Structure 1
Amino acid sequence: MHTTLIDAATLAGHLTDPDWIVIDCRHDLIDLEAGRVAFAAGHIQNAQFASMEDDLAGPKVGPDGKFHGRHPLPDRAALIEKLRQWGVNDQSQVVAYDAHGGMYAARLWWMLRWVGHPAVAVLDGGLAAWQAQGLPLVTPVATRPRGNIMEKPSLTRTVTAGELVANLADGALKVIDARAPDRFRGENEVVDPVGGHIPGARNRFFKDNLLSDGRFKHPTQLTKEFGPLFDTVSDVVMQCGSGVTACHNLLALEVAGLSGAALYPGSWSEWCADPARPVATGEA
């Protein structure tokens, strides 16, 4: 079972294995159709396509009438149904990939763990690593038999905006923000019209988890770099702009053997939508 990362050569050896499901998670936050277009132009053999907007996120406004961020989690039953459409069974090894250092693939990795499926890994280095091995892309879209995956106890944790508001009093939870430093400091008004971060949060840009070739750093290096940010991993809450790249930091922690951190799914886009919630700017 592969539960964090998988290399291109290993994946290539299982492309026709009926128990292996490959999911293409390419996306562009500006051009929302770019991922689907790229998939149609060429993808890993037998891969299915996951839309960030339609499959990996739910409605931005919840049943309570409140805005819950740009990419709220979907209904768990809806996610299970989509996984079955992709052919995922309880015994399936799922492999997610993208062309963006794993920033979108990590979201699917986390979501499968959210519904209790541990056998999910991200292609280390993504499509660049695949093509660097001389491995091909194809255009035919494979059809898979419907899967029968069942929801199980979650392997992850989440926190709400309300819990983080309450946490402002004592800071027992350590919030780590995966956005780029300029966004964290509140200096990028194009991306974040309301700039800044949750008071007390610290910054760990998700791209700092990667080597120059787009593969994840060695577990020892990740442990060393995350170490100064917290004392106990179970007290850590990962967030970002909308709960996507925060999953990259959560994956990096798992690669480092540091399990137990939580995700704030609404992240900054939900937090800053309520003017009653405080905002900090500048460095941590």
Structure 2
Amino acid sequence: MPNYTTLVTPEALKALLASDPAGIRIFDARHDLGDHEAGRRAYNTGHIPGALFLDHETDLCSPRTGRNGRHPLPDRAAFAALIQAQGVGPQTQVIIYDASSGPFAAHLWWMLRWIGHANVAVLDGGWQAWRSAGYAVETQSQPLAAAGAHPKDLPASLVGTVDAAAVQANIPLQRFTILDARAGNRYRGEVEPMDPVAGHIPGALNRPNSENQAADGRFKPATTLRAEFESVLGERNPGDIVHQCGSGITACHNLLAMEIAGLTGSRLYPGSWSEWCSDPVRPVATGA
């Protein structure tokens, strides 16, 4: 079975389900930031056969303190135990989809890489592409298995992160560059629908994640993505890029797009703007 590490087409997923269903695990990551029950309702209405539902507000998030952002990462070992309980072993091919052009699927893709799992890919075009192809859907709910003991030895993470302290220390030094995935009007501080403060981290550049896909909801070709990211980043090394958004979710869409483009090695600031702006001492920039 081929290994998919960034994207998989609906056609390829259908073939995997037919040829080696025991070798894959599908996760439904549908979510709505304005209606936290929408993903579960959508899953119960219909999902890709065998898919398990993971909730971004519970399964994929740790408790919020008011200072750690809207989607703080769970404990790494606890998350690994949850994933392993669902039958994911070192060689399992994991496929993830959502119905929102990919940010929630990309976030879970990044989280699997965070716990050292390499064979994980996002369904290109998501739920809509699967349905448009006329492929099978089931409504029978697949319950999550309860996580057992935390694994003693986790594989090394395949991705890098930075925290708020590192971001703040970097502002005068600019040893790495923050790439903000939010819409331009949020980056500029003209509007802020989700967080109490508008603006962006000083020195950050802007690349809205909505620009990563074509009109059909599929990711643009790798060569197109590479040219577009390089037009924003200039000569900067991909390893010197740190992705940020509102709460660490859509930033992963940019991170995935860069991986597709062959611009590998960039990192994530998981707390993102919602964590950054929770401390009034941290500086805020506005405008372009």
- Which TM-score band (shorter chain)? over 0.9
Change in Cα spacing, 1:92 to 1:145, as seen in structure 2 (3 Å) is: farther
The yes-or-no answer on 1:167 pairing with 2:170 is yes
Q: Residues 183 and 192 of structure 1 are in contact (CA less than 8 Å); yes or no, is this contact kept in structure 2?
A: no
- State whether residues 84 and 146 of structure 1, in contact with CA within 8 Å, keep that contact through their aligned partners in structure 2: no
1:103/1:244 contact within 8 Å kept: yes
Cα distance, 1:2–1:147 mapped onto 2, change above 3 Å: farther
SS of residue in 2 equivalent to 1:13: helix
The structure 2 residue matched to 1:59, chosen from 33, 57, 63, is: 63
Give the partner amino acid of 1:121.
Answer: A
Using the TM superposition, name which of 223-232 and 32-41 deviates more: 223-232
Instruction: Give the gaps of 5 or more residues in structure 1.
Output: none
> Is 1:117 the counterpart of 2:121 in the alignment?
no
Q: Provide the C-alpha distance between the structure 2 equivalents of 1:204 and 1:143, rounded to a whole number of angstroms.
A: 37
Question: Under a length normalisation based on structure 2, what TM-score does the superposition of the two structures give?
Answer: 0.93
Q: Deviations over 1:178-225 (max 9, x none)?
A: 011111111223323200000111111111000101100000000000
Structure 2: how far apart are the matches of 1:173 and 1:143?
A: 42
Q: For 1:252-263, what aligned pairs fall within 5 Å after superposition?
A: 252-263=257-268
Output aligned runs, 1:239-278, within 5 Å. Answer: 239-278=244-283
Question: C-alpha displacement at 1:14, in angstroms?
Answer: 2.0
- Equivalent residues of 1:239, 1:264 under 8 A apart: yes
Task: State whether structure 2 residue 181 is matched by structure 1 residue 178.
Answer: yes
| 1:87–1:144 CA contact under 8 A, matched in 2 | no
One-letter code aligned to 1:101 = S
Q: 1:249 Cα shift?
A: 0.4
User: 1:274, 1:243 → 2: CA distance?
Assistant: 17
Q: Are residues 1:205 and 2:208 paired?
A: yes
Determine whether 1:282 maps to 2:287.
yes
TM score, norm. by length of structure 1 = 0.94
**How many pairs align?**
279
Which of 14, 17, 21 aligns to 2:16? It is: 14
Contact 2:196/2:277 (8 A) holds in 1: no
1:94 equivalent in structure 2: 94
Residue identity matched to 1:213: D
Over 3 Å counting, the alpha-carbon distance change for 1:271 and 1:74 in structure 2 is: same
Deviation of 1:13 (Å): 1.6
Could you list the runs of 5+ residues in structure 2 that have no partner in the other structure? Answer: none
SS of residue matched to 1:208: helix
| Structure-2 residue corresponding to 1:218 | 221
User: What CA distance in whole angstroms lies between the structure 1 residues aligned with 2:192 and 2:104?
Assistant: 23
How many angstroms does 1:137 deviate by?
A: 1.7
Q: Summarize the Cα distance change of 1:145–1:264 in structure 2 as closer, same or farther, 3 Å threshold.
A: closer
Residues 146, 6 of structure 1: alpha-carbon distance in 2 compared, 3 angstrom cutoff: farther
The one-letter code of the counterpart of 1:256 is A
Cα RMSD of the aligned pairs, angstroms, is: 1.7
Deviation at 1:123, TM superposition (A): 0.1
47, 52, 55: which one aligns with 2:51: 47
- For 1:4, give the aligned amino acid: T
- Which residue type is aligned with residue 15 of structure 1? L
Q: CA deviation at 1:146?
A: 8.4
Kindly indicate whether the alpha-carbon contact (under 8 Å) linking 2:181 and 2:207 is maintained by their aligned counterparts in 1.
yes
Tell me how far 1:151 sits from its aligned partner.
2.4
89 and 145 in structure 1: CA distance in 2 versus 1, 3 angstrom threshold: farther
Aligned amino acid, residue 133 of structure 1: A
